[in-house]
Amino acid sequence: MAEEAKSTVPVPKGASAPTGGVIVGQYPPPEPVTRRSFLLSWAGAAWGTFTLANAVGAAATLRFMLPNVLFEPPQKFKAGKLDDYDWDKPDQRYKTSQKAWLMKTHTDYNKKPAFIALDTTCTHLGCTPNVLYTENKIKCPCHGSGFRFTGVNFEGPAPRPLERYKVFIDPIDGQITIDKTKKFHYEKGEWEDRESYIDLSSA
């Protein structure tokens, strides 16, 4: 290292005598690195490529965590004919598979006969309540929220009635069809919406 330093650092004539001709601990002054010279250098290109590759890898990893295929029931399902269902009694046959209670009842505001589909998700914190037929109510086991069979809350911490799914009769095969992508909230007056029930007054 001393040999190298001696060859690159200019030594003034005559100054070599006192130090014995060896300069210890001195390096050639480094060339100043500016932002532009760094970005255009091989080191800049390498760091840039490394950063870019990491960014692409991180984005791809995030995308990997979002699956393309879901092993869940479809959001829209068929539920047979109107004659298969009772009046004013939540039917449980699609409770576990589709999270829906189906029944014939009367609309809340003008007592028109109607077929509705209730979402079985409690409006308090999302548990699935039980239908207690002998007590005429829907009761959530988690925190005790109670609902009438129409879905309207009357006890416990639930702040609003259960939600209703969009229901309609498929014009091709005449079956009840439930579309879970559209939901109707009582507190927003949406239960009066024509899509939230099947009108049975003509039936």
Partner 1 sequence: MAKKGELGRVWDYIVNTQVWRSIMRHGYPNTPRNRSLAVLANLVLHLHPLRLRKSGMRVRYTWCMGGITFFLFLELTITGLLLMFYYRPTAEYAYADITYLRADVPLGIMRELHRWGAHAMVISVWLHMMRVFMTGAYKPPREFNWGVGVILLLLTLLLSFTGYLLPWDQLAIWAVTVGTNMARATPVMGHEGPGAAFVVVPYSEGAGTISVVHQASDVRFGLLGGRFVSAATLLRFYVLHCVAFPLVAAFLIALHFWRVRKDGGISGPL
Contact 94, 79 (CB under 8 A): yes
Q: Judged by CB under 8 A, which stretch of 59-67, 107-115, 139-147, 165-173 contacts partner 1? A: 59-67
CB atoms within 10 A of CB 141: 11
135: which 2 tokens? 């007590």
24 binds partner 1 (CB under 8 A): no
Tracing tokens 């009694």 back to the chain, one arrives at: 89
How many Å apart are CA 74 and CA 184, to the nearest integer? 19
Q: Judged by CB under 8 A, which stretch of 67-75, 106-114, 132-140, 178-186 contacts partner 1? A: 67-75
Pairing of strands 153-155, 164-169: unpaired
35 binds partner 1 (CB under 8 A): no
Size of the site for partner 1 (CB under 8 A): 9
Contact 200, 104 (CB under 8 A): yes
101 forms bridges with which residues in the sheet? 118
Given candidates 68, 96, 110, 202, which one binds partner 1 under the rule CB under 8 A? 68
78 forms bridges with which residues in the sheet? 177
65 binds partner 1 (CB under 8 A): yes
Phi, then psi, of 10 in degrees rounded to 5: -65, 130
Given candidates 20, 60, 111, 194, which one binds partner 1 under the rule CB under 8 A? 60
1 binds partner 1 (CB under 8 A): no
Given candidates 61, 96, 134, 202, which one binds partner 1 under the rule CB under 8 A? 61
- Closer CB to partner 1, residue 63 or residue 111? 63
Q: Judged by CB under 8 A, which stretch of 56-64, 90-98, 116-124, 136-144 contacts partner 1? A: 56-64
Query: Which residues of this chain interact with partner 1, rule CB under 8 A?
Result: 60-61, 63-69
